[in-house]
């Protein structure tokens, strides 16, 4: 569990560094955490794939 938290924090720092490129991702990461942002993104992708396939 500690390893997962460390990785999440490291990825979060990386996303903060990329904030000018992807402000919406940085915003999501700040609100729901990296795992939540990934889950939301994957859900949106799956919805689009489902709707347009």
Q: Taking the alpha carbons of 44, 25, 21, 7 in that order, is the dihedral positive or negative?
A: negative
More confident residue, 19 or 52: 52
More confident residue, 23 or 18: 23
DSSP 28: H
CA pair distance 48, 45, nearest whole angstrom: 5
Percent of the chain with pLDDT over 70: 34
Summarize the confidence of residues 28-44 as an average pLDDT: 71
Q: What per-residue confidence (pLDDT) applies to 19? A: 47
Summarize the confidence of residues 48-53 as an average pLDDT: 82
- For the chain, give me the number of helices (H) and strands (E)? 2, 0
pTM of the entire structure?
Answer: 0.37
- Whole-number mean pLDDT of the chain? 64
The domains of the chain are located at: 2-52
């Amino acid at each position: 569990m500690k390893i997962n938290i460390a990785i999440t924090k490291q990825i979060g720092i990386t996303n903060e560094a990329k904030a000018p490129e992807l402000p919406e991702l940085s915003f999501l990461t700040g609100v729901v955490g990296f795992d939540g942002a990934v889950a939301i993104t994957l859900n949106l992708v799956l919805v689009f794939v489902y709707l347009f396939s």
